[in-house]
Structure 1
Amino acid sequence: MTSLDPALVVLDKDGVRLTVEDAVATVTLTNPAKRNAQSPALWRALTEAGRALPGSVRVVVLRGEGRSFSAGLDRQAFTPEGFDGEPSFLDMARGSDEDLDALIAEYQEAFTWWRRNDIVSIAAVQGHAIGAGFQLALACDLRVVAEDVQFAMRETSLGLVPDLTGTHPLVAAVGYARALEICATGRFVHAEEAERVGLANLVVPGGELDAAVRDLAAALLAAPRDAVVETKTLLRGAAGRTYEEQRAAERAAQARRLRDLAGLSD
C-alpha cells in the first residue's frame, strides 16, 4: 500500500469488492448498470468477503455504487433458464426438500456474517433497496440512508417470501404488525418513515452519505474494541433472555471487563 492508495483490495469479483484500510473494511456492490442487482454468484462473493476479513477489522461498511444500493434479485432469476451454471427456480422446486433447504441456506450465508460480535457493520443506503437489497441492508447492525432511499420488500407480490434473513431484523426494528404490512403490501418505505420507525439510524442528503458513514465509523472506533464487542454481545442476546438472565449476563460481562482492565484476565 502507498499513501496514494491506502485501501488494500482484498477481493474483487462477481460484483463485490472488499477493501481494507486499517480497522475499517468496505464492501462495495460494483454493478451500477444493473442497480447492483443480486445473483447467486454475488452472494457467494459476499460470503467470501466475510471469510476474508482480517482480524484487525472492527467496522465493516457496506455500500453500492451508482444511484441505487441494490434493486434486489436480478430479473434473470425469474426466466426459465435462470443464471448460467445455476439451478433455475424451477430446478430448485424439483429438488428434494434437503437439497432445496441446503441451497437456500448457502444463499443465506451472504447475509449472516454482518452481525458477528467482533465487528460493527454499517449499511450506507441510497436509492432503491428492494427485496434482497432491503434484506442486505437489514443484515447490517446500523443503517445510514440518503434522503432518496426507497426500501421495499416485494417477494410476496411474486408469490415468494423474504428468505434471505431479513424477517428477523425487520420485526426487531419495526415490530410484527408494521413488518407484516410492509412485507404483505410491498410498499415503499421512504427516508422519513425509515428513521421514524427504526429502520434508519440517520438520514442525510445523498451528497453527505459517505462522510456521515465515515464519521460514524470513527465514533465506533473511539471506544476500546473489547468493550464494544461485549456490549454488542449483550444487546444481541437481550431479546432472548429474561430480565434476570440479562442482569446476570451484564454482571458476567462487566466482571470480564474489570479483570481485563486490571490485567487479571486469563
Structure 2
Amino acid sequence: MQDSMEAGVAVVERDNQGSCAILRLNRPEVLNALNAEVLHALGEALDAVAKDEAVRALIVTGAGPKAFCAGADIKEFLAQSPIAMKERSELGQSTFAKLGRLRIPSIAAMNGFAFGGGFELALACTFRVALATAKMGLPEVKLGLLPGFGGTQRLPRLIGEARALELIMSGRFIDAAEADKFGLINRVVSDDVVAAAVAFAGEFTGFSLSSQSLARAAVERGASVALDEGLRIEAELFGLVASTDDAAEGCAAFVEKRAAVFKDR
C-alpha cells in the first residue's frame, strides 16, 4: 500500500496499482466504533475520495484483526435528549449517503464484526466482501432502540421485508455464510479480505465510469417505483449514456475487434 493520505480515525490509502482507494476506520482499540469524531472524519475522507479522479473504486474496511466496525459508541448515547439522538441519526445517515453519491462503486471489506452502525455502513456500500468468520447484525433492539443510520431502509431493499424485520426485531447476529444465502454478500473469502475486495473491484474498474454510474442510477431509481416507471427511467438513462464518448468508443472497438479505451466521458 502507498502512504496514507491523512492520519487519524479514518485513513485513506491506495492499493499497489493505484486504482482503488482504501478507507480504513482506525480505532482498533474500541473495535472501530463510530463516535461523532469518526463520522465527521469519515465524511471528510469520502469528500476527498470523491475529488480524486484517478480512483476507480473505494474499499471500506476496519483496522485490526477483530472488527470491521462494532457500531455506534454507546457511551455517547447516555443522557442524550431525543433531539440530540435524532441529530445523531441524521449525521450517520448523511455521512453514509455520501457513499451512494460517489461516481465510483464502493466495496465493504468486512474483516470481522459488523454490528449496528457498522453493519449499516456496509449496507450503504455498493458491494460487500466478507471473511468467512465475519459476523453481522443490527442489535439495537437489545438496547431499547432501533437502527438509526439507514438500516431499517437499506436492509429490506437488499433482502426483503420479512427477513429484514426478523433481523431487526430479534437483534440476532448472522455469519457470512447466512448473509451470503440472503444475498447480502458478493464474495466470502478465507483470508485477506482487502486483497479480495481489490480483486473483486478489478472485475469492473476497467470499464467506463459513465456507464457504470448511470447503470447504478437506473437500478436505484427503479427500485422504489412501478415497472412501467422503472422502464421509463431505464430508457431515459440509456439515451443519456448513448450520447457519451465512451459509448462511441465501446461500440467502435467492438466493431473493430479491439480493446476499448474508455476515458469516463
**Alignment of 1:52 onto 2:52:** no
CA 161–64 in structure 1, closer or farther in 2 if over 3 Å, else same: same
Whether the 8 Å contact between 1:117 and 1:233 is mirrored in structure 2 is: no
State the partner residue of 1:254.
238
Q: Distance in 1 between matches of 2:119 and 2:204?
A: 24
TM-score (norm 1): 0.84
1:8 is displaced (CA, Å) by: 5.3
State the partner residue of 1:30.
26
Whether the 8 Å contact between 2:158 and 2:184 is mirrored in structure 1 is: yes
- Residues 91-134 of structure 1: CA deviation (Å, up to 9, x unaligned): 433xxx5x654443123222111112512010000221111111
Q: Report the 3-state secondary structure (helix = DSSP H, G, I; strand = E; otherwise coil) of the residue aligned with 2:81.
A: helix
**Alignment of 1:7 onto 2:6:** no
- Counterpart residue identity of residue 61, structure 2: R
Residue 160 of structure 2 is aligned with which of 162, 166, 175? 175
- Residues 16-38 of structure 1: CA deviation (Å, up to 9, x unaligned): 11224644211101122221122
Q: Distance in 1 between matches of 2:71 and 2:28?
A: 12
Q: Distance in 1 between matches of 2:90 and 2:112?
A: 28
Structure 1 runs, 4 residues or longer, greater than 4 Å off: none
Residue 90 of structure 1 is aligned with which of 79, 88, 94? 79
Whether the 8 Å contact between 1:10 and 1:52 is mirrored in structure 2 is: no
CA 163–75 in structure 1, closer or farther in 2 if over 3 Å, else same: closer
CA 254–117 in structure 1, closer or farther in 2 if over 3 Å, else same: farther
Q: Distance in 2 between matches of 1:75 and 1:90?
A: 11
Q: Distance in 2 between matches of 1:191 and 1:108?
A: 24
- Counterpart residue identity of residue 223, structure 1: F
State the partner residue of 2:75.
76
**Alignment of 1:16 onto 2:30:** no
CA 117–251 in structure 1, closer or farther in 2 if over 3 Å, else same: farther
Size of the alignment, in residue pairs? 243
Q: Distance in 2 between matches of 1:143 and 1:25?
A: 15
**Alignment of 1:226 onto 2:220:** no
1:169 is displaced (CA, Å) by: 1.4
What stretches of structure 2 of length at least 5 have no aligned partner?
Answer: 250-264
CA RMSD of aligned residues (A): 2.1
Q: Distance in 1 between matches of 2:206 and 2:248?
A: 20
Whether the 8 Å contact between 2:221 and 2:233 is mirrored in structure 1 is: no
TM-score (norm 2): 0.84
Q: Distance in 1 between matches of 2:224 and 2:170?
A: 29
1:228 is displaced (CA, Å) by: 0.5
State the partner residue of 2:135.
150
Moved more, 247-256 or 160-169: 247-256
CA 72–100 in structure 1, closer or farther in 2 if over 3 Å, else same: closer
**Alignment of 1:237 onto 2:221:** yes
Q: Distance in 1 between matches of 2:70 and 2:204?
A: 29
CA 73–100 in structure 1, closer or farther in 2 if over 3 Å, else same: closer
Residue 163 of structure 1 is aligned with which of 148, 153, 161? 148
Moved more, 164-173 or 207-216: 207-216
1:254 is displaced (CA, Å) by: 1.9
